[in-house]
Amino acid sequence: MAPYDSDSSGAEDDDFTETNVLLGYASADANGEEISRLGGRPDWLDASKPPSAALARCKVCKDMMVLLLQLNAELPDRFPGHERRLYVLSCRRKGCRRQEGSIRAIRGVRVSAQPASTTAEKETQPKETPVPKPASTGLGEALFGTLDPVSLPAVPKPPTMDLDSAEGGSGGGSGGGKEDKEVFESTMDATFQKFADASGRTRSSASGCFEVQLMPEAIQELEVEEEGMEGMDWGTVIVGVCERDCQERGVDVGGAGYLEEWAGVQWEELTMKR
């Protein structure tokens, strides 16, 4: 069968890249999932010690908000021993919609004293024969030593080119498709940088990073299940969190802490009636 025109550009098959993004779909069947869900009541990490009610109030009307999403956000490879949950809340009042603070995000975290897997590894790990270390060549290494590299999800580095320079260097012709792709990616990088700047941390020196995005399809499920949630007009909700998964100040080891995180909302465009 002859390929479609959109598939006949030769090397475009190599443009697809594998990412670390996970997709979640709403389903009436829980399939054993007891934490992640749309709507309902939030299940706090410690039912006897819920977070401050101030975190769950609308910043506009000060009324209590309702749950949009509760997510099991554990990342054992990156944060071993951290029990993590994300909560996205929204105000029911129509008068508060499209205003800052009408949708909020909370990150719950409980850090164990020592991950069980780490303890088991130390008990079973054989003793290693000391090996002389090579001489350090840098001042930083001499003062602080070096650490073994940790395998973390790879994050592509944004290119240094900007949109204007990309357009200026495009000479047209056969290479237009690839150059257009580079221009588009450059624009997306600039958009993501705006998000990264907005989600910067203020409680610690750590930066903010993207964690989850709530898509418009969730509105249909929420409007069916939740009373008073009709007419929601957000297009997407993006949650940015502390990249170090910092704990709330004053919380003891093994205790549950809750911190407000950055929630970016893209609202649907209003149609003007004539």
pLDDT score at 140:
38
The identity of residue 73, as a single letter, is: A
Which whole-number Å values give the CA distances from 137 to 51, 141, 143, in the listed order? 49, 7, 11
Low-confidence ranges of the chain (pLDDT < 50): 4, 6-8, 119-120, 134-155, 158, 160-174, 199-202, 273-274
pLDDT tens, residue by residue, 183-223: 555 655 555 555 555 544 445 557 889 999 988 888 877 87
pLDDT score at 103:
95
Which sequence spans correspond to the domains of the chain?
Answer: 33-112+200-267
Which whole-number Å values give the CA distances from 99 to 20, 212, 240, in the listed order? 32, 21, 19
Phi-psi region of 38 (alpha: psi -120 to 50; beta: other; left: phi over 0): beta
pTM over 0.85? The answer is no
Integer distance in angstroms from the first to the last C-alpha of the chain? Answer: 50
pLDDT score at 82:
95
Query: Edge-to-edge, what's the strand order for the sheet holding 37-38?
Result: 37-38, 66-72, 82-90, 103-111, 256-267, 234-242, 208-214
In sequence order, the β-bridge partners of residue 182 are none
Nearest residue to 261 via CA among 126, 89, 111: 89
Find out whether 221 and 244 touch, Cβ atoms under 8 Å: no
pLDDT score at 150:
38
What does the alpha-carbon distance between residue 38 and residue 242 come to, in Å, rounded to a whole number? 23
